[in-house]
Structure 1
């Protein structure tokens, strides 16, 4: 019986949609002044990360067809270090940013399955290898807006007053003063908003060097199974912290504008 070479592909259904009408409404909100708690941008650093790695392919490759890259952050931790050692409070507050993550790379490459008898034709398959190239670094940060930090206070002891202490203490005399039988304490603990990060932009510049080359068919054709990769990565981050800010209303803005021109 002859094979049926009729294709089953085709358009099953198609419909042209009509345009829907809409009405634009003006957003409304609270007319200040009032206090809001919003993420405040503390700093926006651009960090350069230099990485060199060796990647092993699953099979010998004839050539690299395409490399797709995506960067992921796994740690973005800020430790505030205060002002400089000269204690100049006019200088910006500083900190250290601990950054780590990886670049996920999908490498598509052509393999060699066979060559013709004249060794001028090569055939093979397209395969891929996916790897995670890790990175880790620490960098200095200068805050454009300082983070709000409240330190936990020391525990304080409170002496209780008593004007009629009787018994076998102090030779059995009546004493006016601190009660030795009862003590109170005050402990204050402040909770601060964490500094968190947002990934804004990534730029990756790379150079790939082919390693462990083997001749394939002719002198001008060779395969390889290792890649030495050098990357220069630029990462732009936003460091934010939720803070309470005063939000003025329209009337207050108008009054401030009048004062400027007086």
Structure 2
């Protein structure tokens, strides 16, 4: 009886309402822009994919955990590249130019695997612990002529020198007079672009522990299939239609 009476005296609890201001949008009329196409041949300078490769990276690391963990709840992974460098080692000349097609190269790659590890600690009713680890990796791949979609191109820098005969007897050279010529070609640097990262991993305590016991080191065995593009800015001649927006009616100079 008493318990029911106290319940009856309590005010009815209303649900909390959190209104959000909003504004109704007006309908806007849209129409296509007119187009005028003019046949043309254009020279463009654009990034070109010279190679697209998948590199398999195998990494093993020990991640310290402080406080110690009793159970791994969740692991998020990402990859960050800080180096994608193409080093050419074999060339084929392009006739009539100072440029060479690259026919073989070493592709150097370096970066880090960023892991966000969420785990339960040994304390009772403790919140989940968040541990962020950066695991570095580096390596290189061999690219041959068949691996290039469009070969990278490079132009060499050349130096030349000319000497002169003596002004007195034309039988010896002058050591105080030289002619020098230097040709410096500035090349577009190939660069990398991430495409995808596919992780396969095994995480475990390197020291076997009984169920529910704490461990303070997590051993990571990671296999990463890293897909990336290698690009270089090159110049191309393209034949097609130049598309020009059609002028609106009623402008100055139009009938």
Do these two structures clear the TM 0.5 threshold for a shared fold by scoring above it?
A: yes
The 1:244–1:30 alpha-carbon spacing in structure 2 relative to 1, beyond 3 Å, is farther
* 1:223 counterpart (214, 219, 222): 214
Q: Give, in angstroms, the shift of residue 179 of structure 1.
A: 9.4
Is the Cα–Cα contact under 8 Å of residues 213 and 223 in structure 1 kept in the other structure? no
- Of Structure 1 and Structure 2, which has the larger fraction of its residues in strand? 2
Which of 137-146 and 24-33 deviates more? 24-33
- Listed as ranges, the matches of 1:42-191 within 5 Å are 42-82=50-90, 93-114=103-124, 123-141=125-143, 142-157=147-162, 169-170=168-169, 183-191=178-186
Alignment check: 8 A CA contact 1:43 1:145 kept = yes
Q: Classify the secondary structure of the residue corresponding to 1:192.
A: coil
In the alignment, structure 2 segments of 5+ residues that lack a partner are 1-12, 93-101, 243-255
TM-score calculated relative to the size of structure 1? 0.71
- The answer to whether structure 1 residue 209 and structure 2 residue 195 are counterparts is no
d(CA) in 2 for partners of 1:63 and 1:221?
A: 8
Query: Once structures 1 and 2 are overlaid, which stretch shifts more, 29-38 or 100-109?
Result: 29-38
* RMSD between aligned residues: 3.3
Please give the secondary structure, in 1, of the residue aligned with 2:159: coil
* Stretches of 4+ aligned residues off by more than 6 angstroms: 5-9, 27-30, 178-181
Aligned counterpart for 1:35 among listed residues 43, 54, 61: 43
Change (3 A) 1:222 1:182: closer
2: distance between equivalents of 1:36 and 1:75?
28
Change (3 A) 1:183 1:44: same
User: CA, structure 1 residues 181+52, in 2 after alignment: closer, same or farther (shift >3 Å)?
Assistant: closer
Structure 2-normalised TM-score?
0.73
Between Structure 1 and Structure 2, how many residues are aligned? 216
| Residues 64-113 of structure 1: per-residue CA shift (max 9 Å, x gap) | 121111100011110112169xxxxxxx8111011100011111111132
Q: Which runs of 5+ in 1 are unaligned?
A: 85-91, 115-122, 252-262
Q: Is the 8 A contact 2:38 2:241 kept in 1?
A: no
